[in-house]
Structures are given as C-alpha cells and as structure tokens.
C-alpha cells in the first residue's frame, strides 16, 4: 500500500481523531453483533498503548441529521471498554461543549468516543465548517473505517481533504483490506476466479468490466445471471431480468471471450411459480418456462461452480446465488460458501450478504479475508480510488 499507516508516524502525546466503523446492529440498547467494534480494536489498542490521546468517531444507522436516542453510540463505548479492558469515555455530542471538554481532558493513552456523527447532516454533506469543528484540538487523523471509505464525508475524507488535519494515515483494518484485496487484484495466485451474484447487473457493470481484465474465470449467479442468460438467447420466464441491459450483457460476454476469461452462468435453476418460500418449485435445465422464475441456481450449477472453486488458487466472492433469505432457495449460496470453506486457495469475501452467509454458516474462520465493507469493496474491485483512502498521506 502506498499510504502511510499509524506505524509510520509518532503518535505519543498526539490527540488523534480516529474514524472507525461502529455501525453495529442494536436492539433495545443492546449490541447484537459487535464484529465491527472488534475489528477496530487493534488500531485503537496500538494508539493507546503508544501514548496517543484517542478521539474515536463513527456513524450509526441513518438518523437523518437529527439527534435520536435510538442511534446513540453510548453502548458502543461500553462494548469497546470490554474488549480493551480499560475505560473508554463517551462524549454525548460531536462538536459541542462535551466533545471539546473531553478532547481537552485526555491524557496520553486515554480514549473517548464521540456521539453519532450523523446526528449532524453536515457529516454526509462534507461541510467545511463541520470538518473544521471536528478537527479542533486534533493533531492527527486516522481512518480505519473501510465500510465508509467509498464515501467522501466530513469524517471519512473532509478533515484531511480540506487541510484541517495535515497528518492523515490508515489504521490496521484499512491497511489489511487494501493489502489483501489489492494483492489479489494485482498479483493473484492463479487460477483467479471471481463469483458475482445478487440482484442487479447494473450495480456491478464496473466490477465485471474491471474483473474481466484480471481473472481467469468469472462465475455469475443470482438474479444477475438471468440478464446474461437472456443475452445468450435463453428464455428466463418471469425471472428478475434487466431488459435494458441485455445488449451490455452480450458485450461483456464478448469481452470475456476476447480476454479468454471463462464465463460461467448457471446451467440449471431452481424455479418457482411465485416469489415466495413456499411457492411450487422445481429444477429447470436450460430455459425457464413462462410463468416461472429462477430463485436459485440448480444442483448442476452448484457442481459446475464448486468445481471451478476447487481448481482456483484465488477466489473473490460478492453477492448471493439466489434469494437466500428464503430457506428453500438458499442452497446455491450455501454451497458456494461451503466450497470456499474447503479450498486452500486465497478466499476473499466482499462484504454484505456473502459475508453474512459465510458467518451464519460458521465458515468465517475458514476464509482468508472477509471484507468489512460491501459497497467499499465493490468500488475497490471496480478499480476506483476510495475517497477515504485518497485523503491519506502518501508513503
Ligand atoms: P445485491 O444487493 O445486489 O447483492 O443483491 C442481493 C439480493 O439479491 C438479495 O436480497 C437476494 O434475495 C436477491 N436475489 C438473488 N438472487 C435472486 C433471484 N434469482 N431473484 C430475485 N432476487 C434475487
């Protein structure tokens, strides 16, 4: 990575603003999954142990620019205290009197978490005055929130972009995300296979385009596959299909041919006569008849995709193979997760639904890397520069 990290700067005695991703699910004031908090612990512990005065900031949910007790970050401060085994202070505002006092009172090694950034609409608007206020009393900025690194918000980019904080470096989480995914894209062990799924081709055109320059095989499942199947002249019944993207899908298939990238689509599908878990269902090979829709890949496709995974040395996966929220149509997604759990290849899970599937099935420990950012990892795989990384100091 060509960006400085916390290890490249002297943090002792410095007041350091650290953007973390504490956007955790909370039910009745209790955090139901603290993975994201845990993910930020190495950077926070390093800073604290090395004498920094740590000011943490994050967003939580979508409070729409107003204070809403439902979205307070207070439980996150308590959870972090448990992980670190030391007190983490909490300021009940972001740029107000409490935050100012809390920053000023910090001693070397102390940690305070500010209240939810998105209680201010200026955060997402990347408002200059808000960036200035957030930077008050701050000597150094650390971004460790990969999940929001694709956004140019005040706390993810603005404070450094506008020059309010001159020293801006990456935390360990961002460093790891970029090292693993960047490594796979630039110097993959081959064969390099990418698996894409999910609802829409239109969301992933950039990713497909970029991956076709890098991979040896591209596997497409989920509803996305039906637009490609139609582009090949196959009928897809009433499956989700983007008719205005069929031409583009044909061009992408052509590009794969030219680049000699193996392009794998489902050869069979689990189809239903309605969009429901308990709809009538059967397996259709090839075409999907009228009145039926594909909601998952079929067993032959599972075998085809699993074999490709078995032969690979690097695999990147983003997006489910079917409507995995319906138990009866989750088999394809589960099978891909299982195939990934069994290979010795470098396995990278691109956040979102695929990360959730892998974790729920208990395979998380078997993967090389599970990205903490769905949107951010997609933009990275698309080859775009992430604003939350671009704003950091070069090495
Ligand atoms: P995305 O956000 O684009 O990754 O899409 C994820 C969503 O795609 C999930 O909610 C899935 O239920 C949905 N999906 C996957 N396959 C299908 C399908 N065959 N038909 C309808 N929706 C699907």
Atom 4 of ligand 1, nearest CA residue = 198
Check pocket membership of 201 for ligand 1, CB cut-off 6 A. Answer: no
CA of 319 from ligand 1 middle (Å) equals 8
Q: Of the residues 195, 196, 197, 199, which should be mutated to test ligand 1's pocket, given the most ligand atoms within 8 Å of the CB? A: 199
Residue 250 CB-density burial (10 A; 0-12 exposed, 13-18 middle, 19+ buried): middle
CA of 186 from ligand 1 middle (Å) equals 29
Contacts of 149 (CB under 8 A, 6+ apart): 143, 156, 174, 373, 376, 386, 387, 388, 389
Q: Of the residues 196, 223, 230, 357, which should be mutated to test ligand 1's pocket, given the most ligand atoms within 8 Å of the CB? A: 223
Check pocket membership of 203 for ligand 1, CB cut-off 6 A. Answer: yes
Check pocket membership of 387 for ligand 1, CB cut-off 6 A. Answer: no
Residue 64 CB-density burial (10 A; 0-12 exposed, 13-18 middle, 19+ buried): exposed
Measured between alpha carbons, how far is 77 from 54 in angstroms, rounded to an integer? 13
Judge contact between 153 and 123, C-beta under 8 A: yes
Phi and psi of 59, rounded to 5°? -105, 165
The ligand 1 atom at the shortest distance from the C-alpha of residue 324 is 12
Phi and psi of 169, rounded to 5°? -135, 170
Dihedral sign for Cα atoms in the order 88, 90, 91, 93: positive
Question: Domains in the chain and their CATH numbers?
Answer: 6-174 (3.40.50.1260), 188-381 (3.40.50.1260)
Judge contact between 258 and 212, C-beta under 8 A: no
CA of 389 from ligand 1 middle (Å) equals 29
The pLDDT of residue 219 is 98
CA of 312 from ligand 1 middle (Å) equals 25
DSSP string spanning 297-321?
E-HHHHHHHHHHHHH-SEEEEES-S
State CA 236 to chain mean position distance.
Answer: 30
C-alpha angle 345-322-289 in degrees, rounded to nearest 5: 130
CA of 241 from ligand 1 middle (Å) equals 11
Check pocket membership of 319 for ligand 1, CB cut-off 6 A. Answer: yes
CA of 375 from ligand 1 middle (Å) equals 15
Active site residue ranges: 36, 200, 352, 375
C-alpha angle 306-222-359 in degrees, rounded to nearest 5: 65
Dihedral sign for Cα atoms in the order 56, 61, 67, 73: negative
DSSP string spanning 62-131?
--TTS--GGG-SHHHHHHHHHHHTS--EE-SSSSSHHHHHHHHH--TT-EEEPPPGGGSHHHHTT-HHHH
| Residue 288, both tokens | 């999907």
List per-residue pLDDT tens for the chain, 395 residues long.
899 999 999 999 999 999 999 999 999 889 998 989 999 999 999 999 999 999 999 999 999 999 999 999 999 999 999 999 999 999 999 999 999 999 999 999 999 999 999 999 999 999 999 999 999 999 999 999 999 999 999 999 999 999 999 999 999 999 999 999 999 999 999 999 999 999 999 989 999 999 999 999 999 999 999 999 999 999 999 999 999 999 999 999 999 999 999 999 999 999 999 999 999 999 999 999 999 999 999 999 999 999 999 999 999 999 999 999 999 999 999 999 999 999 999 999 997 889 989 998 999 999 999 998 889 999 999 999 999 999 999 99
Check pocket membership of 353 for ligand 1, CB cut-off 6 A. Answer: yes
| Residue 235, both tokens | 């009928």
The pLDDT of residue 35 is 87
The pLDDT of residue 1 is 80
Smallest CA-to-CA distance from 384 within 393, 368, 373, 395 is with 373
Smallest CA-to-CA distance from 328 within 354, 361, 295 is with 295
- 299-309 confidence digits (pLDDT tens): 999 999 999 99
Q: Of the residues 270, 323, 349, which should be mutated to test ligand 1's pocket, given the most ligand atoms within 8 Å of the CB? A: 323
Check pocket membership of 295 for ligand 1, CB cut-off 6 A. Answer: yes
Measured between alpha carbons, how far is 258 from 361 in angstroms, rounded to an integer? 37
């Amino acid at each position: 990575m060509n960006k400085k990290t916390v290890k490249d700067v002297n943090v002792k005695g410095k007041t350091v603003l650290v953007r973390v991703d504490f956007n955790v699910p909370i039910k009745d004031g209790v955090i139901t999954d603290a993975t994201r908090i845990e993910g930020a612990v190495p950077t926070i512990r390093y800073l604290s142990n090395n004498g920094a005065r740590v000011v943490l900031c994050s967003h939580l949910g979508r409070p729409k620019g107003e204070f809403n007790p439902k979205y307070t970050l207070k439980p996150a401060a308590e959870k972090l205290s448990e992980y670190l085994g030391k007190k983490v202070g909490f300021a009940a505002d972001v740029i107000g009197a409490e935050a100012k006092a809390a920053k000023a009172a910090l001693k070397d090694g102390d940690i305070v978490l500010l209240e939810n950034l998105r209680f201010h609409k200026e955060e997402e608007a990347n408002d200059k005055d808000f960036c200035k206020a957030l930077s008050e009393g701050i000597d150094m900025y650390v971004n460790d929130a990969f999940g929001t690194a694709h956004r140019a918000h005040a706390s993810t980019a603005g404070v450094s972009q506008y020059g309010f904080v001159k020293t801006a470096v990456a935390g360990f989480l961002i460093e790891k995300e970029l090292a693993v995914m960047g490594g796979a894209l630039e110097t993959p062990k081959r064969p390099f296979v990418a698996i894409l799924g999910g609802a829409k081709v239109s969301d992933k055109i950039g990713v497909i385009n970029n991956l076709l320059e890098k991979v040896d095989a591209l596997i497409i499942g989920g509803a996305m596959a039906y637009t490609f199947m139609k582009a090949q002249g196959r009928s897809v019944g009433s499956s989700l299909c983007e008719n205005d993207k069929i031409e583009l899908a044909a061009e992408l298939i052509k590009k794969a041919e030219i680049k000699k990238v193996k392009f794998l689509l489902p050869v069979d599908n689990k189809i239903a006569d309605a969009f429901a878990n308990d709809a009538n269902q059967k397996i259709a090979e090839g075409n999907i008849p009228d009145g039926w829709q594909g909601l998952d890949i079929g067993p032959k496709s599972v075998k085809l995709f699993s074999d490709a995974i078995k032969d690979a040395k690097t695999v990147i996966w983003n997006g489910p193979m079917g409507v995995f929220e319906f138990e009866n149509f989750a088999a394809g997604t589960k099978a891909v997760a299982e195939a990934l759990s069994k290979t010795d290849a470098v396995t990278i899970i691109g956040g979102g639904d695929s990360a959730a599937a892998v974790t729920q099935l208990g395979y998380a420990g078997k993967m090389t890397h599970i990205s903490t950012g769905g949107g951010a990892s997609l933009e990275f795989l698309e080859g775009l520069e992430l604003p939350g990384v671009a704003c950091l100091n070069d090495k």
